[in-house]
Structure 1
Amino acid sequence: MKITLAQQRPVYVAGVGWHRFQKPGPTPYVQLGLTAVRQALGDAGLGWPRVDSAYTATAMLGMAASRPLLKHLGVTGIPMMQVENASASGSSAFRLACHDVAAGTSDVSLVLGVDKLPTSSGASNATGVPSLAADYVPPVAHFALLADEYLDRAGAKPEHLAAVAVKNFANAALNPNAQRPKARSPQEVLAGPPIAGPLTRLQCCPLGEGAAAVVVVSDDAIDDLGLDRSRCVRVLSSSLRSEELYGAKSFDAELTRATVADAYAQAGIGPDDLDVVELHDAFSIEELQYIEAMGLAEEGRAALSLAAGEFDLGGRVAVSTSGGLLGFGHPIGPTGVAQIGEITTQLRGEAGARQHPGARTGLAHMVGLGAVCAVHVLQTP
């Protein structure tokens, strides 16, 4: 019988930190990462010697990125692991740290996500089995086709897709760590330039670099180390699944549906219990698809619910308060960790101008090329 996170020791997020997501530049990855780690440790009120294990999420840096970065904090001999799972790298590293602490192997575990633009091509280009569609259906074309299908099925318009970006840019404008911290009008989003099908440039997440870190602790460690329990957010569930066969249905949405359902069951909650959600909106159509797959809107109704303000700050459930991948940015390795940091900040009531009132339960969702999906549910005490 498999054991879920909820059946082990209680696990909490005690500290969060970031290096602002930004356009590709000369900043060394070590500087990006150390900025986030030091902020997370300071936020938790912990020193580096208290950390029992470390998981570093990267998708583009290459191998052995952890120790050249973390040695600057001190050489303590702790186990370190580098985690790569495409866009879900950070979420996967967080899952490993949670299970590490829940199982009692560690009391304090650091999760760091850090990335810069790739120096080599991905593994999919070295399989020895060429893909017939690779040159014709890159990710943006795939999601453009899904957007066309959704607009036709739901009776929606390109303006409904643009509304996703408008909402998320408005949130990003309130996020000091966002790569695109500027509110945009529907006219600006729709003006282009067009990238594929109905998707314009501002409906596609930007390339960039940055870092995010969180500190995961056991219930015992909160008291033993004198941490502030009121700022420690419980991780109720962790679910990670890979793609199955879904027939003609969108595998992105169906994979999300199955993974979220598992996370709900582990946490003992349903969609009506959620207050804040961070989801994988690399392209605007994804938010509409995933909102429906999560049970936050009826099939084909997400666009109408969005237009009614149900997913705004102060709405029924706030979606992508950070600005999402569209506004916050998507430097790959750090993205899933940054989502956990955002939800933790919301559930603490510390999000400032972008605070969603009464936030108590949150869900973080990332899809990774491959395809995998990671979902975590967090709740304030």
Structure 2
Amino acid sequence: MGRPTTLLQQRPVYVIGIGMHPYQFPSETPYPQLGLRAVREALVDAGLAWPQVQSAFVGTAALGMAAGRVMLRHLGSTGLEVAQVENASASGSTAFRLACLQVASGERDVVLAVGVDKFGDGRRAVLKDGLPPLSPTANVPLVKFALLARRAMREGGLHIEDLAAVAVKNHGNAARNPYAQFRKPRTIEQVLNSPRIAGDLTAMQCCPRGEGAAAAIVVSEQAMRELGLDRSRAVRVLSSVASSEELVDDAPALVELVRKSAAQALDQAGIGPRELDIVELHDAFTIEELLYSEAIGVCEAGEGPAFLARGGSQIGGQCAVNPSGGLIGMGHPLGPTGIGQVAEITRQLRGEAGDRQHPGARLALAHMIGLGSVAVAHVLSRG
């Protein structure tokens, strides 16, 4: 029995325009100003006018009800469909997935996915579920990943310098990214000597929260022809998958979630992990990049630190992991993060990433997880 045909294979979908507001520390800037800068940049990049956009999916985790319509009406009330999406850190990734599927279904031909957030006051639903927590820190992600790091150090031979090396790489990439929140390269010593936050994780090994926006416009083949869009800069979405955590006995559940969701996305795209040139993944804490690189399959199990040490995950290496700077360097404003990954990948596949360009980039994976835990993954290809 062959691989099932997906909507994205039956009706191809392309990223034709991208835009961003730089990620930054919390400010007094109203969120519509953040989001509209990204949307306008995407429209110009695509060569489209606002009335040509038929629907919009807005990813946000901390703004409140109806944020999308309140923001987009400043571009003009055109009657387009607007849907707001919340899926924790995967909010933007989910908005992008829904935009792609709407085009692939044939319901629309030009769809906007935009993520925008400010550092909000939203409380996580797990704090309202009526169940007493096992401990005061049971639902704190930082503690969860600090424990995961300690387990890897105890059982897998991981060293504290291996964790710091992830932060050095990603801060170095972010220093070359004009949209990044952190713009300074860092050394191993600086990372290790920054304030300890939990367990072996120091401040520079943890992503910052802040604000920003990212936008991507996806279109059908028909729209590209009829609207005269520039096909040479179009990036195809080969696959899109979403899933949630399962109970497993022999591995950390979150790592297994990444492994399965990435494998499903790659299988739908018809490629293997070693064919990937770019991976943008959820590195809210340094331990994640090491474990997820192995889980995705860009290196062997247990080889994450060695893969990084020999330059395999550097720009210009075997597979550039987080060339944007990742969540650690570029920032993690929640709502925009997943679409920001797509924007970085689109630049890389177009060959427009400037001095952080990965040579010959052809295939890429964008992978995000969110509280709950959920995973959303996309495979994209050049032209």
Taking the TM superposition and a 5 Å limit, the aligned residue runs for 1:1-381 are 4-136=6-138, 138-381=140-383
**Among the aligned pairs, what percent are the same residue?**
58
After the TM superposition, which parts of structure 1 deviate over 6 Å for at least 4 consecutive aligned residues? Answer: none
Q: Do the aligned partners of 1:5 and 1:236 also contact (CA within 8 Å) in 2?
A: no
Q: Do the aligned partners of 1:239 and 1:375 also contact (CA within 8 Å) in 2?
A: yes
What's the offset of the Cα at 1:155?
A: 1.3
2-side partners of 1:120 and 1:110: how far apart? 25
| Per-residue Cα deviation, 1:100-158 (whole angstroms, up to 9, x for no partner) | 00001110000000001122312222222232235345111110111111122221210
| Per-residue Cα deviation, 1:21-75 (whole angstroms, up to 9, x for no partner) | 0001100000000000000010000000000110000001111101110001110
2-side partners of 1:331 and 1:5: how far apart? 30
* Alignment TM-score, normalising by the size of structure 2: 0.97
Q: Do the aligned partners of 1:168 and 1:323 also contact (CA within 8 Å) in 2?
A: yes
Q: Do the aligned partners of 2:8 and 2:101 also contact (CA within 8 Å) in 1?
A: no
Give the unaligned 5+ runs of structure 1.
Answer: none
- Secondary structure of 2:214's match? strand
Moved more, 144-153 or 325-334: 144-153
2-side partners of 1:160 and 1:120: how far apart? 34
- Secondary structure of 1:36's match? helix
| Per-residue Cα deviation, 1:306-352 (whole angstroms, up to 9, x for no partner) | 00110001000000000000000000000000000000000000000
Residue 264 of structure 2 aligns with an amino acid whose one-letter code is D
What's the offset of the Cα at 1:7?
A: 3.4
- Secondary structure of 2:293's match? helix
1-side partners of 2:92 and 2:203: how far apart? 25
What's the offset of the Cα at 1:2?
A: 7.7
* Alignment TM-score, normalising by the size of structure 1: 0.98
Q: Are residues 123 and 136 of structure 1, via their aligned partners in 2, closer, same or farther at CA, if it must alter by over 3 Å? A: closer
1-side partners of 2:303 and 2:114: how far apart? 37
Residue 203 of structure 1 aligns with an amino acid whose one-letter code is Q
Moved more, 119-128 or 216-225: 119-128
| Per-residue Cα deviation, 1:342-364 (whole angstroms, up to 9, x for no partner) | 00000000000100000010100
What's the offset of the Cα at 1:296?
A: 1.1
Residue 342 of structure 1 aligns with an amino acid whose one-letter code is E
2-side partners of 1:375 and 1:26: how far apart? 33
1-side partners of 2:240 and 2:6: how far apart? 8
What's the offset of the Cα at 1:5?
A: 3.6
- Secondary structure of 2:215's match? strand
How many residue pairs end up in the alignment?
381
